[in-house]
Amino acid sequence: MNEDSEFNDSVGSHNGGEDTHMDGQAEETSVYSCESEEVYSDEQILAGPITGMFFKSAELVFRFYKRHVKMRGFYVLKTTLSKNYALFVCDKSRKPTNPKHTKRIGCEARVNAALKRDGSWIVTKVCRDHNPKLDSSLSRQMAGHRYIGKSVKRILEANDRAGLRPCKSVRLLEVQSGGPENMGCIPKDCRNYVEQQRLQMLGGDANALCQFFSDMQTNDNEFYYSMDMDGAGRIQSVVWVHSHSKYAYKEFGDLICFDTTYFVNMYNMPFASFVGINHHGQSIHLGCALFTSEDAEQYKIIFSKWKKSMNNVAPKAIWTDQCESINVGVSVVFEYTVHRYCIWHIFTKLPMGLKVTDGGYKTVKNEFKSIVLGSITIEEFEHR
């Protein structure tokens, strides 16, 4: 919206439109200043640039042409922009090299502009021949015409901090703007912006988290933490273990459960916990981890750091979810540890593996649980 007012203040045309010399000697003209009241209507924008029209800069030529092509239904590129000459062409202007290419059709639509001696830019040639069929309703979906305004950014950031999901924020913006066609962007742009802001906030929160862990380590010498960050200072993974967890692991480290069923809502980062069982059958906390990706390399790092915090003593057995990435990490770091899948996860995924009608599912489920929970040995399970 601000660009439109800048065009209206900074674009002009020759009075006669006949003299297109670049020396500026045949006719005395001046570029409209920011105080000019010259306003270009939608009809003038739709008509587009004409030979002899002049601007303050080459960038303003491009912006005016961009406004015109948006109303027509296509997009333009800067192919040449030097000190004295500029050429703007249709984004489908390249010659086709493959019949399957849809963006290379050799379109001839273009605008040439040159620098005058007084510092202004004059349109020297305009070609309006456009090969593809135009549809102005599709302009808003073209990457070059999409933008997220400052007010939209503020609303997206505020809604995200309030815990509103991006899809609901987008729907709210569509209603406020009178329809998706008036937003200036598509839902994907909004989601990408929210994700980008989360990553930037995560970089600042990473420093705060690091300081928090450092303070805890000052108060508790045996508190352990390890953080991995990327070049931008954003967290890739972090593992921390309290001193009481270390002591508990020494006594009850035979079996642990690695649970990854939690997410940190604000950043959508997986949260994992290491849990053991004491002599009263109670769950005991043995460590935590946050990470950004659920690939095998990430799990290797997490398991290695946690094992290091426990003086490199691996558990005798570990329960995890059914995940190939976790399997790889366990097999590499806990080479001699017995690895089993958590029964709760198996039962949770049971509906996906049983193709039965609604009436028969409950019976099959009960029979399956009876076989699994009532079998002590492999032979007994196979026999039943």
Kind of pairing, strands 338-341 and 317-320?
parallel
Whole-number pLDDT of residue 345 = 75
Query: In the β-sheet with 255-264, what is the strand arrangement from edge to edge?
Result: 224-229, 235-241, 283-291, 269-277, 255-264, 317-320, 338-341
Q: What is the CA radius of gyration of the chain?
A: 32
Distances in whole angstroms, Cα of residue 99 to Cα of each of 72, 75, 96, 105: 25, 21, 7, 9
* Domain map (residue ranges) of the chain: 2-136, 146-219, 221-348
148 backbone dihedrals φ, ψ, rounded to 5°:
-115, 115
Is residue 277 helix, strand or coil?
strand
Taking each helix axis as running N to C, give the angle between helix 58-72 and helix 2-10, from 0 to 180 degrees, rounded to the nearest 10: 120
Q: What is the pLDDT of residue 186?
A: 74
pLDDT greater than 50 at residue 38: no
Which tops the pLDDT comparison, 228 or 305?
Answer: 305
List pLDDT tens digits, range 41-78.
Answer: 667 777 788 888 888 888 888 888 888 877 776 767 77
* 251 vs 7: CA distance, rounded Å: 74
Q: Which residue has the higher pLDDT, 23 or 122?
A: 122
Among the residue ranges 152-156, 211-215, 238-242, 287-291, the one predicted with the least confidence is 152-156
Average pLDDT, stretch 133-144?
A: 61
pLDDT at 276: 93
Query: Residues 105-118: what's their mean pLDDT?
Result: 82
Provide the token pair at 217. 């380590």
Determine the distance from the C-alpha atom of residue 229 to the mean position of all C-alpha atoms in its chain, rounded to a whole number. Answer: 18
Give the number of C-alpha atoms closer than 13 A to the C-alpha of residue 250, restricted to the C-beta side: 6
Q: Give long-range contacts, CB 8 A cutoff, 24+ apart: 136-141.
A: 136/70, 136/71, 136/72, 136/73, 137/73, 137/181, 138/73, 139/69, 139/70, 139/71, 139/72, 139/73, 139/74, 139/75, 140/181, 140/183, 140/184, 140/185, 140/186, 141/186
Contacts of 327 (CB under 8 A, 6+ apart): 320, 339
Q: Is the pLDDT of residue 97 over 70?
A: no
For residue 184, pLDDT over 90 is answered with no
The predicted model scores a pTM of 0.49
pLDDT at 364: 77
Cα–Cα dist 155/172, whole Å: 10
Q: CATH assignment of 221-348, given 3.30.420, 1.10.60, 2.40.10, 1.10.1740?
A: 3.30.420
Q: Could you tell me the pLDDT band of residue 334, with boundaries at 50, 70 and 90?
A: very high
Rounded-to-integer distance, Cα 164 and Cα 166, Å: 6
